[in-house]
Amino acid sequence: MTVLGLGDMGSALVRALLKAGYPTTVWNRTADKAKPLVAEGATHATTVAEAVAASRLVIACLFDYKSVTDVLDTAGDALTGRVLVNLTNGTPGQAREFAGRYDVDYLDGGIMAVPPMIGTPAAFVFYSGSRSAYDTNKQVLEAFGESLYVGTDAGFAALHDIGLLSGMYGMFAGGLHALALVTSAGVPATTFAPLLKRYITSMAGYVDGMAEQIDKQDYTINVTSNIAMQSAGYANLMLSAEEVGISPELLAPLAPLMARRVADGHGHEDIGGVVELLKKGKK
Ligand SMILES: NC(=O)c1ccc[n+]([C@@H]2O[C@H](COP(=O)([O-])OP(=O)(O)OC[C@H]3O[C@@H](n4cnc5c(N)ncnc54)[C@H](OP(=O)(O)O)[C@@H]3O)[C@@H](O)[C@H]2O)c1
């Protein structure tokens, strides 16, 4: 196997391959980062072409798509006919455009783990693009964690990756706002954190009900907390932020969306209907 990119994530991928017993060739722009991996059994290639030529399966884990093309454009013909798995974060559109750039069997991937999780059962990775590339290399790829193939559309791994990251950053935004609020009033973050985790975890279960409503475009199914009530309560989040003197900017955008659903006559329905406003695009 060849791994291009030995940052925090690329190095974790190499270690997982070595641990699983796969001979691995590595390349990195800053060559020094290869040293500890060579000490652990990897082979260092000094050029991208040499690294690519060393293996049928080439894995790229670099900073962004531009860095991947900058690197692979220097490989010349060495890439032709190989399997290229790009585990660099990007958008679905970038992945689709990139998929046709080189004469390779292409798989795009999205890693749903941080480096210390790689190679543990907690890690999972989305793949999309060439089904044959996935089927042939699934066993190797599972050295990183569970592999989930999400379709022949090369953009789908990034779509699923960005979807999950969107959920995560939404949660972080709420968590950061909550911690700013309570610590401004003198409650230590460490005292509040277990309560935050408990409540967020129990509320995560509501995603299933929302998903059913969204697929059916019916926001009247099993409503226990109507949006008119939630919209009125949400105004108190904004007022409380003002009272303690913190910026409401992380959570403020949801308030007008909820109010619009209520004003449009959906007050008896669930909050999931906000998706209908988002799907209309930017106002
Ligand atoms: N770390 C995570 O928690 C995590 C989780 C999921 C996904 N990912 C994704 O994995 C990818 C790598 O992340 P990372 O954590 O390994 O990042 P990182 O530690 O910052 O490493 C970045 C890598 O990209 C290389 N690079 C940057 N610009 C380059 C250029 N123009 N030409 C050649 N090489 C270039 C760096 O080379 P140098 O060493 O020479 O600077 C290094 O190998 C990213 O797309 C990231 O979104 C990371």
Residue pLDDT, tens place only, 225-268: 999 999 999 999 999 999 999 999 999 999 999 999 999 999 99
CA atoms in the 13 A half-sphere facing the CB of 110: 25
User: Do residues 10 and 37 touch, judged by C-beta distance below 8 A?
Assistant: no
User: Do residues 109 and 86 touch, judged by C-beta distance below 8 A?
Assistant: yes
Say if residue 78's pLDDT is above 70: yes
CA of 89 to the centre of ligand 1 (A): 9
Residues 6+ apart with CB under 8 A from 217: 276
Say if residue 283's pLDDT is above 70: no
- Give tens-digit pLDDT for 5-21: 999 999 999 999 999 99
User: Which atom of ligand 1 is found nearest the CA of 114?
Assistant: 3
Task: Choose the residue to mutate in 63, 64, 144 for probing ligand 1, maximizing ligand atoms within 8 Å of C-beta.
Answer: 63
CA atoms in the 13 A half-sphere facing the CB of 108: 30
What is the 3-class SS of 89-158, one letter each residue?
Answer: CCCHHHHHHHHCCCCCEEEEEEEECCHHHCCCCCCEEEEEECHHHHHHHHHHHCCCCEEEECCCCCCHHH
CA of 214 to the centre of ligand 1 (A): 36
CA of 128 to the centre of ligand 1 (A): 21
Per-residue pLDDT at 134: 98
Domains of the chain, earliest start first: 2-153 (3.40.50.720), 160-279 (1.10.1040.10)
Determine the Cα angle at 208 with ends 206 and 209, to 5°. 70
Who lines ligand 1 at CB under 6 A? 5-10, 28-30, 33, 61-63, 67, 70-71, 88-89, 111, 114-115
